[in-house]
Amino acid sequence: MRLIDYLDKGASLGPDAPCLTLGAQTRSYGEVQRLSWRIARALAGSGVRPGDKVAILSANDPVAFAYVFGISRAGAVWCPINPRSVAAENRELLELFDCVALIFQAGFADLVATIAPDLPQLTTLVCLDPEPIPLAAVPGAVDFGGWLAAAEDGPWQADPVDDLAMIVGTGGTTGRPKGVQLTGHNLEAMTAITLIGYPFDGRPRYLALAPLTHAAGVLCFPVLSLGGEIVILPRPDLGRFLTTITEKSITHTMLPPTLIYQLLDHPALGSTDLSSLQCLWYGAAPMSPTRLARAIEVIGPVLGQFFGQTEAPMVVSTLAPSDHLRPDGTPAVERFASAGRPAPLVQVAIMDADGTVLGPGERGEIVVRGPLVMAGYYKNPEATAAASAYGWHHTGDIGYLDADNFLFIVDRAKDMIITGGFNVYSAEVESALLAHPAVRDCAVVGLPDDHWGERVTAVVELHPGHRATADELRAFARDRLGGLKAPKQVELWPDLPRSTVGKVLKRDIRDRLLAPAR
């Protein structure tokens, strides 16, 4: 399926049903479908051809998301660009992806004006906002109202040149970012696994709080295939998030663990009616088993985990809400540290550095194969070959499969700390610290140490109104992990640096900790 097929499938179930909602404004499936026809025609009229790359630079916005379907209908390739990234990084991605068109919100006009002159291949610039921006702000840009007015109405669709649906940039934490090529078949496999693996009763109503440029965006496709409604929040606001669940009878939503931790502290949580929820997905980072148990107790037995990555989107393994409970309804705490079982349509194995597949309980790199895995990195055959060595996609995560085929993620390979000649996995130390009642969130990194090689170092954010000393937290971890794994250094920070999707930025933490020594 192409991306446009998800919209058309939903429209076939009822064109008057709500499709995209922001605040009091709702666009029906028929309205979004008609808008996608005009967007596709306007793109073609601007010289965009099937196979061309079209980027969107926008905060969460229903019109911006409607453009995704117009891009697909034109046979072009969607390239989501993170609006929170710095200008240099966005310019690099637009150049890397060979983008010929950029759709942007007026709020990012200054950013576009900064980067567009360096991108001569970027021949089409369209501002999303209905009021035209001053032409001097971004030379060559047009407002979408006038741009669409010249396009004919009525059904129209270009023939694609291949199955490529979108190109997504990696974080670039280890050098220049890479472009992950996701095909229609990749997203079709992800959609099928999602619909198989999690509860969907009736037409879903999905609340998108996290950026639609990330996991929150691709989760829209299973919802659209069922004719469901996408309710969009323009920015992270947990108070509004709770209110919207009640007002809109939300059935599905997604939060990273760090936002779930904050949600558990929110004063309105206890008085909010969450009975409409069928599934609250969590993923993108490990979640403390202690906090997971608390979330199930307070929010209800609706939490569903997924594990995946950009190169194998979302559902390499799944832990449905029902899998969090034993047959008698009690919490299955023995599974809470796992990432669930390998999903249908996906093969998962554990591999050593020599390409040998390891047995149950043995730790190594998590490798994956099947229709979920990307088509490769855009114009980067070397990186593609390295990631697909021995016929498997290499995730870069360290883990193991237990005797019951539950997958346990120990750490990112790059986050493993070698101290005193022993391997220490930061996720294990973080999980121990998160069991302390005063700890709201934490991150563990390795810092250079003359004696140990690397020093296990923890940066901790406390719950508001709670107190704990560094010595107390070190002792707490030592009692649970022993002296080798327990952090040698504990820092207390009021807030941890986080990305736009709520991930704690360990690179920023490490740089800040090392700054005084430089």
Residue 488: exposure state from Cβ atoms within 10 A (0-12, 13-18, ≥19): middle
DSSP 3-state of 334: helix
pLDDT in tens, 6-65: 999 999 999 999 999 999 999 999 999 999 999 999 999 999 999 999 999 998 889 999
Residue with structure tokens 């005063």?
A: 438
Position 460 pLDDT exceeds 70: yes
* Percent of the chain surpassing pLDDT 70: 96
Q: Map out the domains of the chain as residue ranges.
A: 23-162, 185-412, 416-517
Mean model confidence pLDDT for the chain: 91
pLDDT in tens, 54-105: 999 998 889 999 999 999 999 999 999 887 777 888 899 999 999 999 999 8
The DSSP H or E segment spanning 67 is helix 62-73
Q: How far is CA 207 from CA 23, 33, 238, 250, 278, in A?
A: 12, 21, 12, 6, 12
Rounded to an integer, the average pLDDT of 179-190 is 97
The amino acid sitting at 170 is T
pLDDT in tens, 367-400: 999 999 999 999 999 999 999 999 999 999 999 9
Using CA atoms, how far apart are residues 305 and 246, in angstroms rounded to an integer?
22
Nearest to 179, CA basis, from 398, 324, 336, 378: 378
Residue 450's pLDDT is 75
Whole-model pTM over 0.95 = no
HSE value, Cβ hemisphere, 13 Å, CA-based, for 263 = 27
Position 301 pLDDT exceeds 70: yes
pLDDT in tens, 190-212: 999 999 999 999 999 999 987 78
Using CA atoms, how far apart are residues 487 and 446, in angstroms rounded to an integer?
9
DSSP 3-state of 31: helix
Residue 229's pLDDT is 98
Fold of the 416-517 domain: GMP Synthetase; Chain A, domain 3 (3.30.300)
Class of domain 23-162: alpha beta
Residue 500's pLDDT is 63
DSSP 3-state of 9: helix
Q: Say if residues 105 and 127 touch (Cβ distance below 8 Å).
A: yes
Q: How far is CA 221 from CA 165, 193, 207, 244, 442, in A?
A: 13, 12, 13, 21, 33
Residue with structure tokens 């840009």?
A: 141
Residue 96's pLDDT is 94
Q: Say if residues 305 and 283 touch (Cβ distance below 8 Å).
A: yes
* Percent of the chain surpassing pLDDT 90: 69
Pair of tokens at residue 362: 């043995």
504 DSSP assignment: B
pLDDT band at residue 151 using 50, 70 and 90 as cut-offs = confident
Using CA atoms, how far apart are residues 80 and 372, in angstroms rounded to an integer?
19
Rounded to an integer, the average pLDDT of 420-433 is 83
- CA 492 from chain centre, in angstroms, equals 28
Position 172 pLDDT exceeds 60: no
Fold of the 185-412 domain: Rossmann fold (3.40.50)
Q: In CATH terms, are 23-162 and 185-412 the same topology? A: yes
**Pairing of the two strands 18-22 and 229-232:** parallel
pLDDT in tens, 270-285: 999 999 999 999 987 7
Q: How far is CA 491 from CA 460, 480, 484, 518, in A?
A: 6, 19, 18, 19
Q: How would you list the strands of the sheet with 252-255, edge to edge? A: 25-28, 18-22, 229-232, 205-208, 252-255, 279-282, 303-309, 312-319, 341-342
238 DSSP assignment: H
